[in-house]
Structure 1
Amino acid sequence: MNRLFPWAVALIAVFAVFIDIPKHQFSFPFNCPGICLRVGGFSVNQEIKTHLGLDLQGGIQLVLQMKTDEIPAGQSVPDYNERARRVIDRRINGLGVSEPVIQAIGDDKILVQLPGIDDLQQANDIATRQAKLEIKVPDKEAPGTFKSLQPPLTGEHLNPTYVTFDSANQPVVNFEFTGSDADRWVQLSKDYLNQPVQITLDGQQISAPTIQVVFTSGRGIIQGRFTVDEAKQLSLLINSGALPVSLQVIQSSRVEPTLGRDSVNRSLIAGAVGLLLVAFFMLVYYRLPGAIAVLALLYYTALTYAIFRLVPVTLTLAGIAGFILSIGMAVDANVLTFERLKEELRSGKSLRVAVEEGRKRAFPSILYSNLATILTAAILFELGTGTVKGFALTLGIGVAVSFFTAVIVTQMLLHGVIEFASLRRRALYGVEERQPEAARDGREPRPAPAV
Structure 2
Amino acid sequence: MLQLSMWKRALIILLCLAAVIYAVPNIFYDRVERHNDAVALIEAGQDSPELQAERALWPDWAPSYLINLGLDLRGGAHLLAEVQVSDVYVDRIDALWPEVRDLLRPERATVGGVRRMPSEDPGVLRVAVSNEDGLQQALEIVQTLSRPMQTLTGIGQQDLAISIEDGQIVITLSQAERLATDDRTMAQSLEIIRRRVDEVGTREPTILRQGTDRILIQVPGIGSAEELKDLIGTTARLTFHPVVRTTSDANTTPAPRQLVLPSMDQEGVYYVLDQTPVVSGEQLVDAQPDFDQNGRPAVSFRFNPSGAREFGLYTADNIGNPFAIVLDNEVISAPVIQAHISGGSGIITGRFTLEETTNLAILLRAGALPAGMNFLEERTIGPELGQDSVDAGKIAALVAMAAVLVYMGLSYGLFGVIANTALMLNIAMIFAILSMIGGTLTLPGIAGIVLTIGMAVDANVLIFERIREELRTARGPARAIELGYEKAMSAILDANITTFITASILFALGSGPVRGFAITLGLGIITSVFSALFVTRLLIVFWFERRRPKTLKL
Same topology, TM > 0.5: yes
- Which one-letter code corresponds to 1:207 in the other structure? I
Q: Distance in 1 between matches of 2:355 and 2:462?
A: 59
Contact 2:292/2:347 (<8 A) preserved: no
Q: List runs of 5+ in structure 2 lacking aligned partners.
A: 36-54, 90-172, 246-253, 261-269
Determine if contact 2:82/2:214 at 8 Å carries over to the other structure: yes
Asked if structure 1 preserves the Cα contact closer than 8 Å seen for 2:278 and 2:311, the reply is: no
Counterpart in the other structure of 1:223: 350
Distance change (3 Å), C-alpha of 1:380 and 1:180:
same
**1:30 aligns to what SS in structure 2?**
coil
Partner of 1:393: 519
Aligned to 2:169: none
Corresponding residue of 2:188: 83
Closer/same/farther in 2, CA of residues 58 and 229 from structure 1, 3 Å limit: farther
Query: What's the counterpart of residue 137 of structure 1?
Result: 242
Residue 449 (structure 1) aligns with: none
Residues in 2 aligned to 1:213 and 1:283: alpha-carbon distance in whole angstroms: 83
SS of 1:31's partner is: coil
> 2 CA distance for matches of 1:294 and 1:390?
26
SS at match of 1:21: helix
Which structure 2 residues correspond to residues 423-438 of structure 1 after superposition, within 5 A?
A: 423-426=549-552, 428-429=553-554
Matched residues in 1 for 2:536 and 2:396: separation? Answer: 25
Rate the CA distance shift 1:254–1:222 in 2: closer, same or farther, 3 A: farther
Once the two structures are overlaid, the 10-residue window that deviates more, 337-346 or 86-95, is 337-346
Given the alignment, which residue of 410, 421, 426 partners 1:300? 426
Paired residues in the alignment total 411
Q: Percent identity?
A: 32
1:123-147 per-position Cα deviation (integer Å, ceiling 9, x unaligned): 2133244443222233368597523
Aligned to 2:141: none
2:4 aligns to what? 2
Q: Alpha-carbon deviations, 1:225-275, whole Å to 9, x = none?
A: x66655544333322222233322111111222322332233223222222
SS in 2 for 1:192: coil
- Mapped to 2, the partners of 1:184 and 1:19 lie a distance apart of 56
CA distance in 2, matches of 1:130, 1:200: 12
Equivalence map 1:244-259=2 (5 Å) = 244-259=370-385
Q: What is the aligned partner in structure 1 of residue 487 from structure 2?
A: 361
In 2, the alpha carbon distance for the partners of 1:344 and 1:354 equals 5
Unaligned 5+ runs, structure 1: 35-46, 430-451
Q: Distance in 2 between matches of 1:210 and 1:357?
A: 81
Cα displacement string for residues 354-386 of structure 1 (whole angstroms, at most 9, x for unaligned residues): 323332332222111101110000000000011
Match of 2:263 in 1: none
> C-alpha displacement at 1:340, in angstroms?
2.2
The CA RMSD measured in Å over matched residues stands at: 3.2
Indicate the residue corresponding to 2:448 in structure 1: 322
8 Å contact kept, 1:417–1:423: no
State the match for 1:448 in structure 2: none
Letter in 1 for 2:429: L
Q: Following superposition of structure 1 onto structure 2, how do residues 30-429 of structure 1 map, counting pairs within 5 Å?
A: 30-34=59-63, 48-70=65-87, 72=173, 73-74=175-176, 75-76=179-180, 77-139=182-244, 142=255, 146-148=272-274, 152-164=278-290, 172-177=298-303, 179-184=308-313, 186-187=315-316, 190-193=319-322, 197-202=323-328, 204-209=329-334, 211=336, 213-214=338-339, 216=341, 218-223=345-350, 231-421=357-547, 423-426=549-552, 428-429=553-554
SS of 2:188 mapped into structure 1: helix
Shift of 1:83: 1.7
Matched residues in 2 for 1:349 and 1:358: separation? 11
Counterpart code for 1:32: W
Give, in angstroms, the shift of residue 162 of structure 1: 3.4
Note if contact 1:16-1:303 (Cα within 8 Å) is conserved in structure 2: yes
Inter-partner Cα distance in structure 1 for 2:507 and 2:442: 14
Residue 22 of structure 2: aligned partner: 19
Supply the distance in 2 between the matched residues of 1:186 and 1:152 (Cα, whole angstroms).
10
Shift of 1:30: 3.4
Secondary structure at the counterpart of residue 179 of structure 1? helix
Deviation by residue 1:31-81 (Cα, 9 ceiling, x = unmatched): 2353xxxxxxxxxxxx62222222223222222222244455313233332
Corresponding residue number in structure 2 for 1:441? none
